[in-house]
């Protein structure tokens, strides 16, 4: 293990121990709320679409919106400053505070002010800054950074917060319950707001037509911060601009549902300052805070800080559509366990944090945590503005490595000793990114290759030079590949031993099925033939998933083109493409759109099926279920693959099991933690196991046969449970019935 790997492993271990439990519990609660809120709201998908279109149009017309909002704010009597970068924005706010003779500033929660390090700037010129958001207040007292873009203090338990407040304030009665803590904080923060000279807020949205700042919060302190001091400064990234109130409604509907599972946030405040904006006061409904004095001032600071360049960047542009709801963080299994202190950069954290950091801070900051995105894609459906977050992470990974995409495995010999200072894909990226070559050699040399790869000195060398953790079992390659087995057998359909063929299909022989998990491939062939399908094995290689997961986009693109060409002739001939490994199906249905020219991917995407989805379709269309292994009430614990869930396909497997009479329990966990090469990497081994343990904790495996759809899931569960696992198609395999 190299020094940097050891450092990263220790950091992750520490966070798992200190912050992991609170992060996991808090994100779990938010996810449950989000699932419920979205399920019970049938307009969600339509509004998602509408919001996406609005953001695309707004970012395309950003210059026009800046012009319009400047006119509107100035017409209202306020000022607009377009800040080129963080230093410019900081200097402007300092100038405003100086002009107001400010000694104290109160601030509501705002990631944009974190980005420009406003607190540090104001404090350096002698101004006291008080955070008024409860979470921000807590981490300001603890002198820590936010661990989540929506809930900055998520990594702290109630007990830890109580201990902190008791130590700092020494109240007469020690604080303990959530109510006591909240009441105490409200009183302290109320004092600060009353006494402050300037109030600084962020903005969830800024409406160009009216110069309106929209604040969406669950605490009333943001609106008090905005209207109580005579001077209000709102700091917002330029991407927060929307044309007018006409476009706002879908965002208000989707943001709280995605962030916290509420149908609407407690406070949606719309201020068009500096105008009369009375608001509820500190002591109940009769105590109204007067806004709109003659001396009121308003300054809108619109921050660029790399956003214009992001807008010009075809890959990073989508990041600007982000409405900072945090759903991508909550839906990410790795984030749930280590939070934003590991899965984050200078300011932003979580899946989309990579895009933000790459755009506003630079690639070095993004590189710090980009590897924590495993590309599982669970965030894709969670994002209310449909941002392809895994793709952004992949592109940033490529850029972090310098884009020096090695095209063949021959490059493995280059730089056998990894040079941490040298950019480019390291030996480990090349090893996993070219796994097909490894697998071919592994099968050709089996069983010697398996013996060799299990030998202590070899594992030690792999740990040292490749960063492949020696505690992880390596795949065992089969001498007889699926392809060889298939070539040497007689088709049950063609020989007349099976039903008359009703359809023709090609079974895509992914690398793992072909070289390692050959039995699931054989089971798939037998199952399809039992349902009257004439099966062929196409001459197609690796889909490109392996290099793509390492950020080797050019290699992935080449593999995608070759695989597409090999499969296209079968699609043209009217054959269906059946895929066992969900991550490969996700390539055909999702990533090929980005990797192949024009609309080349469309026909393949439309004619490719996950194997159990295909079985389900055949049964629905009248195929004889009698050929498959009946369940007879056998108990199954089933974990569906993350990418299969993103494609909405787990229900097909469950339906087939039900139809055959199996008693199936399905896990809810987002990911198994293995995620392709991720679980093999030394620095992430413990995190991978921890994520897997969370899956097991919610999966009742006692007395149940454990079944999973993806290679990674099968490997992880087998290793955690120390007993064999099966792919669903092996459960229904006619061979089990002796047919």
CB under 6 A: which stretch of 13-21, 203-211, 308-316, 382-390 binds ligand SF4? 382-390
Q: Please state, in angstroms and rounded to a whole number, the distance separating the CA atoms of residues 681 and 694.
A: 19
Least CB distance from residue 666 to ligand SF4, whole Å?
24
Q: Please state, in angstroms and rounded to a whole number, the distance separating the CA atoms of residues 275 and 283.
A: 23
Q: Report the Cα 121 to chain-centroid distance in Å.
A: 32
Task: Please say whether the beta carbons of 510 and 584 come within 8 A.
Answer: yes
Give the residue ranges of DSSP H helices in 623-698: 642-646, 650-660, 685-698
Binder of ligand SF4 out of 238, 265, 325, 530 (CB under 6 A): 325
How many residues bind ligand SF4, per CB under 6 A?
A: 15
For residue 229, give both structure tokens.
């001091």
Binder of ligand SF4 out of 257, 296, 324, 645 (CB under 6 A): 324
Q: Assign 503 to helix, strand or coil.
A: strand
Binder of ligand SF4 out of 196, 382, 462, 628 (CB under 6 A): 382
Q: Which helix (H) or strand (E) holds 373?
A: none
Task: Please say whether the beta carbons of 709 and 728 come within 8 A.
Answer: yes
CB under 6 A: which stretch of 339-347, 383-391, 506-514, 563-571 binds ligand SF4? 383-391
Q: Does 254 contact ligand SF4 by CB under 6 A? A: no
CB under 6 A: which stretch of 186-194, 282-290, 324-332, 713-721 binds ligand SF4? 324-332
Binder of ligand SF4 out of 146, 250, 384, 532 (CB under 6 A): 384
Strands 297-303 and 288-289: unpaired
Least CB distance from residue 385 to ligand SF4, whole Å?
5
Q: Does 326 contact ligand SF4 by CB under 6 A? A: yes
Least CB distance from residue 505 to ligand SF4, whole Å?
36
299-318 burial: b if 16+ Cβ within 10 Å, else e: bbbbbbbbbeebbebebbbb
CB under 6 A: which stretch of 317-325, 366-374, 598-606, 699-707 binds ligand SF4? 317-325
CB under 6 A: which stretch of 298-306, 318-326, 577-585, 713-721 binds ligand SF4? 318-326
Q: For residues 316 and 714, which CB has a smaller minimum distance to ligand SF4 in the complex?
A: 316
Q: Please state, in angstroms and rounded to a whole number, the distance separating the CA atoms of residues 492 and 532.
A: 9
Q: Please state, in angstroms and rounded to a whole number, the distance separating the CA atoms of residues 334 and 328.
A: 11
A 10 A CB-CB count for 179 gives: 9
Q: Does 656 contact ligand SF4 by CB under 6 A? A: no
Q: Which of 533, 530, 589 lies closest to 564, judged by CA?
A: 589
Least CB distance from residue 341 to ligand SF4, whole Å?
17
Q: Which residues, 342 to 361, sit near ligand SF4 by CB under 6 A? A: 352
For the chain, the helix, strand and coil percentages under 3-state DSSP, each to the nearest 5: 55, 10, 35
Q: Does 587 contact ligand SF4 by CB under 6 A? A: no
Q: Does 327 contact ligand SF4 by CB under 6 A? A: yes
Q: Does 389 contact ligand SF4 by CB under 6 A? A: yes
Q: Which of 248, 237, 230, 219 lies closest to 347, judged by CA?
A: 237
Q: For residues 389 and 628, which CB has a smaller minimum distance to ligand SF4 in the complex?
A: 389
Least CB distance from residue 331 to ligand SF4, whole Å?
8
Q: Please state, in angstroms and rounded to a whole number, the distance separating the CA atoms of residues 652 and 645.
A: 11
CB-based burial label for 417 (10 Å; 0-12, 13-18, 19+):
exposed
Least CB distance from residue 329 to ligand SF4, whole Å?
7
Q: For residues 150 and 165, which CB has a smaller minimum distance to ligand SF4 in the complex?
A: 150
Q: For residues 248 and 699, which CB has a smaller minimum distance to ligand SF4 in the complex?
A: 248
Region for residue 622 given its phi and psi (left: phi exceeds 0; alpha: psi -120 to 50; beta: otherwise): left
Task: Please say whether the beta carbons of 528 and 623 come within 8 A.
Answer: no
Q: For residues 384 and 406, which CB has a smaller minimum distance to ligand SF4 in the complex?
A: 384
Torsion angles phi and psi, residue 373, rounded to 5: -80, 120
Q: For residues 112 and 527, which CB has a smaller minimum distance to ligand SF4 in the complex?
A: 112
Angle between helices 20-39 and 3-18 (to 10 degrees): 70
Region for residue 121 given its phi and psi (left: phi exceeds 0; alpha: psi -120 to 50; beta: otherwise): alpha
Least CB distance from residue 327 to ligand SF4, whole Å?
4
Least CB distance from residue 51 to ligand SF4, whole Å?
9
Q: Please state, in angstroms and rounded to a whole number, the distance separating the CA atoms of residues 56 and 318.
A: 8
For residue 370, give both structure tokens.
């980009």
Q: For residues 102 and 259, which CB has a smaller minimum distance to ligand SF4 in the complex?
A: 259
Q: For residues 232 and 397, which CB has a smaller minimum distance to ligand SF4 in the complex?
A: 397
Q: Which residues, 258 to 287, sit near ligand SF4 by CB under 6 A? A: 258
Q: For residues 324 and 705, which CB has a smaller minimum distance to ligand SF4 in the complex?
A: 324
Binder of ligand SF4 out of 385, 462, 548, 637 (CB under 6 A): 385
Least CB distance from residue 454 to ligand SF4, whole Å?
41
Least CB distance from residue 259 to ligand SF4, whole Å?
7
Place of tokens 């060799």: 452
Q: For residues 138 and 255, which CB has a smaller minimum distance to ligand SF4 in the complex?
A: 255
Supply the DSSP symbol for 680: G
Task: Please say whether the beta carbons of 372 and 362 come within 8 A.
Answer: no
Binder of ligand SF4 out of 89, 134, 235, 328 (CB under 6 A): 328
Torsion angles phi and psi, residue 11, rounded to 5: -65, -45
Q: Does 466 contact ligand SF4 by CB under 6 A? A: no
CB under 6 A: which stretch of 83-91, 159-167, 279-287, 384-392 binds ligand SF4? 384-392
Q: For residues 164 and 342, which CB has a smaller minimum distance to ligand SF4 in the complex?
A: 342
Strands 205-207 and 212-217: antiparallel
CB under 6 A: which stretch of 381-389, 410-418, 448-456, 614-622 binds ligand SF4? 381-389
For residue 16, what are the β-bridge partners? none
Task: Please say whether the beta carbons of 237 and 324 come within 8 A.
Answer: no
Binder of ligand SF4 out of 238, 271, 367, 383 (CB under 6 A): 383
Which positions ≥6 away from 171 have C-beta within 8 Å? 165, 184
Q: For residues 323 and 511, which CB has a smaller minimum distance to ligand SF4 in the complex?
A: 323
Q: Does 322 contact ligand SF4 by CB under 6 A? A: yes
Binder of ligand SF4 out of 213, 303, 323, 596 (CB under 6 A): 323
Q: Assign 128 to helix, strand or coil.
A: strand
Q: Does 34 contact ligand SF4 by CB under 6 A? A: no
Least CB distance from residue 462 to ligand SF4, whole Å?
36
| Contact positions vs ligand SF4 (CB under 6 A) | 258, 322-328, 352, 382-385, 387, 389
């Amino acid at each position: 293990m190299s020094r940097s790997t050891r450092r990263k492993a220790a950091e992750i271990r520490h966070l798992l121990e200190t912050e992991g439990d609170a992060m996991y519990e808090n994100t779990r609660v938010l996810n449950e709320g989000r699932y419920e809120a979205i399920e019970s709201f049938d307009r969600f998908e339509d509004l998602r679409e509408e919001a996406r279109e609005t953001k695309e149009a707004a970012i395309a017309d950003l210059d026009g919106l800046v012009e319009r909002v400047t006119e509107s704010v100035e017409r209202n009597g306020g000022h607009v400053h377009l800040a080129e970068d963080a230093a410019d924005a900081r200097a402007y706010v300092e100038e405003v505070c100086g002009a107001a003779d400010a000694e104290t500033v109160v601030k509501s929660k705002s990631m944009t002010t974190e980005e420009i390090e406003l607190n540090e700037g104001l404090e350096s010129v002698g101004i006291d800054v008080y955070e008024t958001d409860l979470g921000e207040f807590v981490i300001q007292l603890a002198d820590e950074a936010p661990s989540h873009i929506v809930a900055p203090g998520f990594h702290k338990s109630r007990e830890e917060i109580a201990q902190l407040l008791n130590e700092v304030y020494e109240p007469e009665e020690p604080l303990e319950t959530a109510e006591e803590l909240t009441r105490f904080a409200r009183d302290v923060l109320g004092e600060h707001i009353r006494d402050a000279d300037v109030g600084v807020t962020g903005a969830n949205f800024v409406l160009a037509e009216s110069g309106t700042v929209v604040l969406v919060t669950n605490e009333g302190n943001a609106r008090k911060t905005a209207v109580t001091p005579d001077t209000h400064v709102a700091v917002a990234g330029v991407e927060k601009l929307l044309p007018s109130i006409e476009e706002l409604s879908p965002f208000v509907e989707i943001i709280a549902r995605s962030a916290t599972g509420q149908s609407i946030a407690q406070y949606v405040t719309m201020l068009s300052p500096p105008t009369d904006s009375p608001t509820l006061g500190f002591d109940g409904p009769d105590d109204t805070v007067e806004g709109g004095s003659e001396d009121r001032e308003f300054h809108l600071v619109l921050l660029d800080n790399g956003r214009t360049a992001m807008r010009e960047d075809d890959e990073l542009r989508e990041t600007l559509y982000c409405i900072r709801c945090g759903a991508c963080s909550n839906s990410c299994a790795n984030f749930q366990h280590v939070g934003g202190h590991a899965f984050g950069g200078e300011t932003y954290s979580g899946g989309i944090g990579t895009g933000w950091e790459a755009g506003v801070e630079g690639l070095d900051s993004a590189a710090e945590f980009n590897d924590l995105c495993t590309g599982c894609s669970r965030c894709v459906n969670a994002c209310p503005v449909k941002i392809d977050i895994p793709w952004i992470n992949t592109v940033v990974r490529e850029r972090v490595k310098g884009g020096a995409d090695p095209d063949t495995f021959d490059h493995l010999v280059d730089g056998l000793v990894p040079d941490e200072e040298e950019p480019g894909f390291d030996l480990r990226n090349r090893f996993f990114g070219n796994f097909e070559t490894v697998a071919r050699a592994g099968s050709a040399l089996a069983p010697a290759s398996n013996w060799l790869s299990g030998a202590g000195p070899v594992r030690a060398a792999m740990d040292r030079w490749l960063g492949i953790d020696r505690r992880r079992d390596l795949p065992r390659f089969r001498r007889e590949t699926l392809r060889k087995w298939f070539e040497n057998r007689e088709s049950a359909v063609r020989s007349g031993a099976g039903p008359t063929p009703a359809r023709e299909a090609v079974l895509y022989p992914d690398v793992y099925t072909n070289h390692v998990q050959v039995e699931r491939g054989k089971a798939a062939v037998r199952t399809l033939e039992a349902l009257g399908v004439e099966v062929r094995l196409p001459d197609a290689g690796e889909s490109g998933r392996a290099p793509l997961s390492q950020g080797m986009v050019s290699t992935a693109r080449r593999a995608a083109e070759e695989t597409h060409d090999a499969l296209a002739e079968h699609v043209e001939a009217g054959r269906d493409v059946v895929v066992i490994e969900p991550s490969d199906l996700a390539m055909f249905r999702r990533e090929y759109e980005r990797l192949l020219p024009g609309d080349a991917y469309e026909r393949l995407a439309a004619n490719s099926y996950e194997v159990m989805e295909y079985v389900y379709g055949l049964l629905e269309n009248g195929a004889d279920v009698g050929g498959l292994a009946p369940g007879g009430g056998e108990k199954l614990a089933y974990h569906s693959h993350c990418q299969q869930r993103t494609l909405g396909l787990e229900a097909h497997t469950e339906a087939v099991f039900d139809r055959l009479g199996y008693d199936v329990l399905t896990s809810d966990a987002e990911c198994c933690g293995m995620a392709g090469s991720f679980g093999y990497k030394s620095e992430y081994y413990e995190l991978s196991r921890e994520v897997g343990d969370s899956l097991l904790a919610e999966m009742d495996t006692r007395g149940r046969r454990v079944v999973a759809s993806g290679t990674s899931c099968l490997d992880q569960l087998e290793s955690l449970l120390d007993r064999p696992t099966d792919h669903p198609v092996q459960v229904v395999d006619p061979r089990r019935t002796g047919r």
